[in-house]
Amino acid sequence: MIGFILGTFFGGTVGAVTMAFCNAAKRNDEKR
């Protein structure tokens, strides 16, 4: 159970960072 919680938390964090990075890349493309 603990492993499942840690896996979900870690996966969610990685997903949030990836989405933030993609959004930043899109903003940079729009500025150009």
pLDDT, tens digit (0-9, with 9 covering 90-100), for 12-23: 999 999 999 999
Amino acid, res. 24: A
Q: How sure is the predictor about 27, in pLDDT bands with cuts at 50, 70 and 90?
A: confident
pLDDT of residue 29: 81
DSSP class of residue 6 equals: H
CA–CA distances in Å: residue 5 to residues 1, 21, 22, 26, 30: 6, 24, 26, 31, 37
- Residue 30: pLDDT over 90: no
pTM: 0.54
Question: Three-state DSSP class for 1?
Answer: coil
pLDDT of residue 23: 92
